[in-house]
Amino acid sequence: MKQNEANPFLSMKAEIEDLTDDRQERNRMWWERMPMTYADWNAGSEDRIPKTREDFVRMEDILFAHSTYLREVFPFTALKGRKVIDIGCGGGVLSCYMAKQGAEVTAIDLTDTATRLTSENARIQEVELDVRQMDAERMSFEDAAFDYVFSWGVLHHSNNTEQALKEVGRILKPGGAGMMMVYHKTSIVYYLRGLYWMVRNGMRTLEASQDACTDGYFHRHFTKAGLARALEQAGLTPTALYATQQEQKILPLVPSWLDRWLKHRFGWYLVAEFARPAS
């Protein structure tokens, strides 16, 4: 078996690169075929698509069970009554959850697959969402349209994250705020997993090895300084930057106290809270 055929990320990248030279179109096609449904990446395309109410509820259960930050830290109830945009809605889990907490949610995604899944999720869970297929790098909303911008694990997958952040700065109201999560370069996962795949696949750089072990056609990793700089260049003020990670231990056999300490400093997820200055 060829290396690409054994790895869903490498095989999907090779497949779509034969179809178009446009980078953002390749990005869209990757996610059309491999939507974020929290299913096994190696499962067949149909097996990864939720079909029943139980399937959609299971997506929410999986996400919150694996994310301490979303489950215990992020103040979803504080969004009640606010105009919120969820950039990169995937299967609509977080869009629907915010709507259930009373937020007025607009959900956008680059793909038709995600917008259809999000609309179906909203129908099944009986919540109101404004769902639109849209490129975050070229949003059609008016300036200062939203009170809050939310994006969980999405903008690092864009062709031009800096351009998307400029759009975030444009559509956020003066005095508004937001939260985003991107992959963290100064993380244990980036280096240890990257080195493993680099050796396994004979790749020359850690960046190249990410194609084999990280989801998405694009999968950028940011340092805290790099992300802060990108936010500031977009007219946004970082108010907090910290690392976190999924529920499982960051390293095997480490005690719980050390696991928490390592995740807070070297976790794979980099969370940025930010605001748009009022004047």
Helix H, strand E, coil C: the string for 107-149 is EEECCHHHHHHHHHHHHHHCCCEEEEECCCCCCCCCCCCEEEE
pLDDT at residue 167, as a whole number: 98
pTM, two decimal places: 0.94
- Rounded mean pLDDT of 202-210? 88
pLDDT at residue 5, as a whole number: 57
Structural domains counted in the chain: 1
Reduce the DSSP state of residue 59 to 3 states and report it. Answer: helix
Structural tokens at position 242: 């910290």
Share of the chain above pLDDT 90, in %: 87
Reduce the DSSP state of residue 3 to 3 states and report it. Answer: helix
pLDDT at residue 2, as a whole number: 47
Question: Is residue 270 within 8 Å of 222, Cβ to Cβ?
Answer: yes
E strand or H helix at 269, and its extent?
Answer: strand 269-275
Question: Is residue 228 within 8 Å of 161, Cβ to Cβ?
Answer: no
- Please report, for the domain that includes residue 35, its CATH number: 3.40.50.150
Question: Is residue 100 within 8 Å of 125, Cβ to Cβ?
Answer: yes
Q: What angle do CA 219, 85, 61 make, to 5 degrees?
A: 70
Range of the domain at 200: 3-275
Rounded CA-CA distance 237/200 in Å is 41
- pLDDT tens per residue, range 159-180: 999 999 999 999 999 999 999 9
Q: Please give the full DSSP string across 158-196, using - where no structure is assigned.
A: SS-HHHHHHHHHHHEEEEEEEEEEEEESSSHHHHHHHHH
- pLDDT tens per residue, range 234-265: 999 999 999 999 988 899 899 999 999 999 99
Distances (CA, A) of 98 to 17, 182, 264: 36, 20, 25
